[in-house]
Amino acid sequence: MTDRKPLSLQRLLDMHASGDKIAMLTCYDAAFASLLDEAGVDVLLVGDSLGNVLQGESSTVPVSLDAMVYHTRCVARGRKNAWVIGDLPFDSYQASPQEAWKSAAALFKAGAHMVKLEGGGWTAPIVRFLVERGIPVCAHLGLTPQTVTMLGGFKVQGRDDAAAAHLKRQAIELAEAGAQMLVLEMVPAPLAADLTRTLKIPVIGIGAGVGCSGQVLVLHDMLDVTPGRRPRFVKNFMAGASSVQDAVARYVAEVKAQTFPQDDLHSY
């Protein structure tokens, strides 16, 4: 993959428009950033999931902005062509658009090309504030780990008609506010596919079916490193792989070929 060009926001939008699937994985350090980039991963998400997989926390809530800045800087130094998204952690954007700006600017200075925030409704003005000031934003709807206790635990979101309509309204509102990408987590596959057709921005699924513009998984999950039980939507790509790079390349190939995720195994 050494001959590919650096990913740009316009290229990601074009991939969504043309149906060219986007392969995204979480990444937290320079060594893996280089490996994932070489294997053809389009987008590296410096996720606050690092709280779980690196720090041993039971949730993403304790992750600090300083930690996100540190790991974003590490990933930015290791990547060559991949697009880098940095998560805005809990308590770094909820109070005001001005707080969100300072937090987003810190991630941007560390090397992020885009920031991600969770939730809909109240987040639309924050998205608009950031985008108007030059920081691209990825929204995140469905199962939002930072507020999982409010959602009643790790449950599929948008199952009934009212919940699906509410989620769809929030997605459209976020896109109209300027969000240039949307992550949908643990959302029924038909709803995710409908939103992908409706929106003009890439919709990245995690437990949301093959009909999205692309897929994302936590790196440690798909490499079968995370201890304990993993969610239904995770596939162990290390099974049968000759190396970590081979496993990542298989993930990219299956996302591009739309053979992952499989509706009967990894979707709701």
| CA–CA dist 105, 137 (Å, integer) | 12
250 three-state secondary structure:
helix
Contact criterion met (CB below 8 Å) for 139 and 128: no
* Binding positions: 48-49, 87, 116, 118
| Token pair of 195 as six digits | 């939103």
Taking the mean position of all CA atoms in its chain, how far away is CA 261?
15
Burial letters for 69-96: b for 16+ Cβ neighbours within 10 Å, e otherwise? Answer: bbbbbbbbebbebbbbbbbbbbebbbee
* Binding positions for 3-methyl-2-oxobutanoate: 48-49, 87, 116
Is 38 in the active site?
no
- Catalytic one among 38, 173, 176, 185? 185
| CA–CA dist 101, 150 (Å, integer) | 25
* Binding positions for Mg(2+): 48, 87, 118
For the range 94-103, what are the long-range contacts, defined as Cβ-Cβ under 8 Å and sequence gap of 24 or more? 97/125, 97/126, 97/129, 97/130, 100/126, 100/129, 100/130, 101/129, 101/130, 101/133, 101/135, 103/65
| Token pair of 242 as six digits | 């000759």
Enumerate the active-site residues. Answer: 185
